[in-house]
Chain A
């Protein structure tokens, strides 16, 4: 197990390095410097700017300087928001994105697995078809459609929920816990919807397979109640594919958060990333990509380790 963990860890590091290198060289080899979109800067000032941002060094030196800084958590100054460093901007956005993202992930896992198990237990019956049809819709319709449509229904036509805005942890005292949760409902649900759909499909498939296996037949034969069979025996085995989906789910939630944070004007990392991309804020975009990639690689790694701990077969291959 330790050996396997080490092996996986060692393969995760080059992946991360490749990501950082690709992001870095893509940015630096871009036609036109980062300052070309600005007003005509006098040559002297441009030289100063270049010196400040290390743009005068040869590329490999720039890369290693950047890498060293990134390892210390310093993503450099933002190119557009001159008063802020990228790290500061990211730290501002992080609590928002984590709150929304984690809630959506938990919602997706819980609701998705319940729906999937229900569909598997009632295979080829009305429940199954209903769940699978909804799942198909959830997978096909992207959240930049569901989010505005749900805002239209629940916030514009009916005044049940706020259309947008962020109360945040610091706003709880001022505006109350109630307002805090209400402001979260629409973003979290719309972010979770596609994942609920995918997880319920995944869960249904693996549950059907597990229910056919021998140890379930044994459990049934010794007279366990159907509920106990599912909760005590089948669920554990059936959730294994769910764990390996954790990495892709994170990636999907991150790209979904770009849309959700834009629609509901949440001041998360996704917002900074998109405005950074629109303003060609090179360092900011790069910093966020590296953070996203790290998050995904780490979660993939964690999922693999958990899977290996639960399922000895994985370790041996």
Chain B
């Protein structure tokens, strides 16, 4: 300390140089952000996704027709200036229905992913941190669950409790947490051997606090990547169930319901299939590109 200050005294510029360097110094996150924004596919995906999300929020509210309004004189109308995406075989506007479906599908995707995030991070971090028998038992459970055809258990759940949005949130979240738990466990295993965790343990920090203050913050990178990649799976699971008639029920709609409707009336109104399917596929692509971009940006191995 003394030497540094003496050093600084001798060279008055050093301090200001250090300050300048501190400003210029790039944190992990600055670095990651820069690389993410250099990824054209990821940036384009973020813009498209933003447009879809905004349209899903705003359009059903301001649209002159509502998503379940039926126009008895406009069955299966092709896309036109009045109906931009046409109408379905029941005379309902596809555009506003697609946006309403986007609301439901995105909401289910997000909430189910959050459910899986909470379960997966807690499970994985606990297993990885405590290790030994606890780890063995917990990960064995994950292994067994992994081999189960979980979507079928979701179907059993809907048979038992009937179909409701809440069941979908919980059931889909409950099937998507396994991979999250594995990723988090692996990271935790390597993190807990790091010196800063040892230091924390040496000064007597309790295990739960170490997990909360030191392990979990360092998990954010891989978790963020995996969350972005889980959302499309959750959306797919919701649409899959809704397509089969086991998910979202009429009059409420979702992409799965719309695609099922569109597939039924495909000969009379192909646009009723193609537009919702196209918007959904576009959304899924966007999430995948953003996830890949995040992985490239946050993965330290790439640097």
Which residues of A approach B to under 8 Å, CB–CB?
14-15, 18-19, 22-23, 26-27, 30-31, 136, 140-142, 144-145, 147-149, 151-152, 156, 247, 251, 254-255, 258-259, 262-263, 273-274, 277-278, 280, 282, 285-286, 288-289, 292-293, 296-297, 300
Q: Is the CB of A142 within 8 A of B239?
A: yes
Given contacts A251-B149, A273-B155, 12 further A-B contacts (CB under 8 A): A19-B148, A22-B153, A26-B160, A27-B160, A140-B284, A144-B243, A151-B266, A152-B273, A156-B267, A259-B244, A274-B246, A288-B152
Q: Is B174 an interface residue (CB 8 A)?
A: no
8 A Cβ contacts from B248-303 to A? 256, 259-260, 262-263, 266-267, 270, 273-274, 277, 280-281, 284-285, 288
B157 touches A26 (CB 8 A): yes
CB distance from B15 to the nearest CB of A (A): 49
**A27–B239 CB distance below 8 A:** no
Question: Interface majority SS on A: helix, strand, loop or mixed?
Answer: helix
Give complex CA distance A289, B288 in Å: 31
Q: Does B240 contact A (CB under 8 A)?
A: yes
Minimum CB distance partner of A289 in chain B: B152
Bound complex: CA of A296 vs CA of B281, how far in Å? 29
Q: Which residue of B lies closest to A151 (CB)?
A: B266
Task: Select one of A19, A31, A258, A292 contacting B244, CB under 8 A.
Answer: A258
Q: Tell me if A145 and B259 are in contact (CB < 8 A).
A: yes
Contact A255–B152 (Cβ < 8 Å): yes
Report A-chain residues with C-beta under 8 Å of the C-beta of B280.
Answer: 145
Query: Roughly how many angstroms separate A78 CA and B274 CA in the complex, as a whole number?
Result: 38
Q: Please measure, in the bound complex, the distance between the C-alpha atom of A286 and the C-alpha atom of B280, giving whole angstroms.
A: 32
Type the 1/0 row for B227-250, where 1 means its CB is closer than 8 Å to any CB of A: 000001000100110011110000
Q: Are B281 and A293 in contact (CB under 8 A)?
A: no
Q: How far is the CA of A23 from the CA of B280 in the complex (A)?
A: 32
**Beta-carbon nearest neighbor of B256 in chain A:** A144
User: Which B residues touch A273, using CB under 8 A?
Assistant: 155
Are A278 and B245 in contact, CB atoms less than 8 angstroms apart?
A: yes
With a cutoff of 8 Å between Cβ atoms, the chain A residues found around residue B155 in the complex are: 273, 277, 285, 289
Encode contact with A along B150-190: 1 for CB under 8 Å, 0 otherwise.
Answer: 01110111111100000000000000000000000000000
10 pairs of A and B residues whose beta carbons are closest in the complex: A148-B263, A30-B160, A145-B277, A144-B243, A140-B284, A289-B152, A251-B149, A255-B151, A277-B159, A141-B281
**Nearest A residue to B278, CB-CB:** A145
Whether B288 pairs with A136 at a CB distance below 8 angstroms is yes
**Distance A80 CA – B191 CA, assembled complex (angstroms):** 54
Least CB distance from B78 to A in Å reads 14
